[in-house]
Amino acid sequence: MVSFNRVILAGNLTRDPELRFTQSGTPVCGFGLAVNRVFSKNEEVDFFNVSAWRELGETVANYKKKGDPILVEGRLQYRTWEAQDGSKRSAVDVVADNIQFLGGRADSDDGASSGGGGGQARRGGGRGGQREEVEINETDFEDIPF
């Protein structure tokens, strides 16, 4: 039997990302994502809970805030728990594997916004959405033998 569990969502954060740590010290960031869905002349909004682990979660917590647009790639995870009143609860959440920071908002007043260029963060490392500007001197190309 073939199984495939992959989801790609683009939307805006519904709340500031919340960074927590497991008992073993592993960082996990939780945030909400609002995704607009347009059909015919109607528009509806779907809301998703997303968790990002380790460096990916730390990057989101450090650079994003409520209202910022992002793209999330990941998988769906079903979880169940027992509430304080004894009732059984369940939910389907998105566990992020890759997050792309989309264009920043024009009214942003801090340096944490990704600006118009966006940035990228991947689970298990990456550059945390930071790009380094490099000065190029064209005279350096004269020594290339081709």
Structural domain boundaries in the chain: 7-143
Distance of alpha carbon 44 from the chain centroid: 21
User: At 118, is the pLDDT very low, low, confident or very high (cuts 50, 70, 90)?
Assistant: low
Span 104-123, average pLDDT: 48
DSSP reduced 3-state for 57: helix
Highest mean pLDDT pick, 28-42, 103-117, 128-142: 28-42
- Can you give the pLDDT at residue 145? 57
Mean pLDDT (the chain) is: 82
| Tokens of residue 68, six digits | 């910022």
Rounded CA-CA distance 104/65 in Å is 11
Task: Give the residue from 77, 125, 119, 117 showing the smallest Cα distance to 99.
Answer: 119
- Can you give the pLDDT at residue 103? 81
Question: What CATH number labels 7-143?
Answer: 2.40.50.140
CA distances from 31 to 49, 110, 111, 133, 140 (A): 6, 20, 20, 30, 46
Q: Answer yes or no: pTM beyond 0.85.
A: no
Contact, 126 vs 63, CB < 8 A?
A: no
| Tokens of residue 110, six digits | 């801090």
DSSP reduced 3-state for 132: coil
User: At 1, is the pLDDT very low, low, confident or very high (cuts 50, 70, 90)?
Assistant: confident
In the chain, the amino acid numbered 9 is L
Contact, 48 vs 32, CB < 8 A?
A: yes
Rounded CA-CA distance 22/106 in Å is 36
23 has a pLDDT exceeding 50: yes
